[in-house]
Every structure is written in structure tokens, then in C-alpha cells.
Amino acid sequence: MKYAMVIGTYYRILGWMSLAYLLLTFALAFWTLSTYWSDRLSIDLTFFIWLWLGSRLKRGDSTARKWAIGISVFATLFTLVFILTGVGITYLGSYAFAPPDIRYYLVGAGVILLVGLPGLLLLSRKAREEFRPVG
């Protein structure tokens, strides 16, 4: 398995989906002139990170591998702390979920699967060998 290609492509797809969601939110807010969308408008610039990580991982950059691992560990730990303590409200777009709601835990599990797991796969022995500099 080529970890660089698979995970790099995954992060690029995640980046393009994040950019599409941002543009869709802007379009709905300004074309409909609805206060529903404009009150909940948020600017999420993480698509820059996903696209950068994806392109650098596909090239086999070991620095991007370290960044991907760091972001994945941070996102996983941050999400686990919020899920296990039941603190705060989770926002998914314009929807808010409080801790007793099952959707609160499903959103947290989704974050761990979508953001945490691909980066943590880069910790495997095969991935380390693939990103090892030749020479």
C-alpha cells in the first residue's frame, strides 16, 4: 500500500470538500439574503491545511507526514476530551448538539474517523519506511 498516495489523495479530497462547503455556505447566505444562514456563517479556512498536506504527502514529504500526525493526534485528543467530559456544544454546520444527545457523540466519532485515523495510519511501520529518506 502506498500510504503517501492514498492518504495524500484523501486529504486533498477533504480539502476540496471543505472548500465546496465554505462556498456553498457563502452562496446560501448571500443569494437568499436569509438571516438564518448569515447568522450562522462561519469562515473555515482549514481547506488550506488539507490541500497543502495532501499535495506534500503525495510527493512523499516527511515534514508533511509529521504535520499530519501532529494534527491527527491533536484532533483525536481534543475530541476525546470533549466527548468523555461531556463539556460544551458540538456544532455541525448550523446545527448544535448538546452532550445528552446521541448526535453529539456521533459527531465526535466522525471527527476522530475523518481527521484522526488517516493521520494515525502514518505511524505504522510501513508508512515510516515509505517516508524514510533514501541515501
- Which tens digit of pLDDT belongs to each residue from 87-96? 666 666 666 7
- Binned at pLDDT 50, 70 and 90, residue 16 comes out as very high
How many C-beta atoms lie closer than 10 Å to residue 58's C-beta? 18
For helices 46-58 and 62-85, angle between their N-to-C axes, nearest 10 degrees:
140
Which domain, by its residues, includes 39?
3-131
User: What is the per-residue pLDDT for 30?
Assistant: 72
Q: Is residue 71 predicted with pLDDT exceeding 80?
A: yes
Residue of 93 and 10 predicted with greater confidence: 10
User: What is the per-residue pLDDT for 81?
Assistant: 79
Q: pLDDT per residue over 17-65, tens digit each?
A: 989 988 887 777 777 666 555 566 667 788 899 999 999 998 888 888 9
Domain count along the chain: 1
* Beta strand segments in 1-135, E: 90-92, 95-97
Q: Is residue 111 predicted with pLDDT exceeding 90?
A: no
The mean predicted confidence, pLDDT, of the chain is: 80
User: What is the per-residue pLDDT for 85?
Assistant: 73
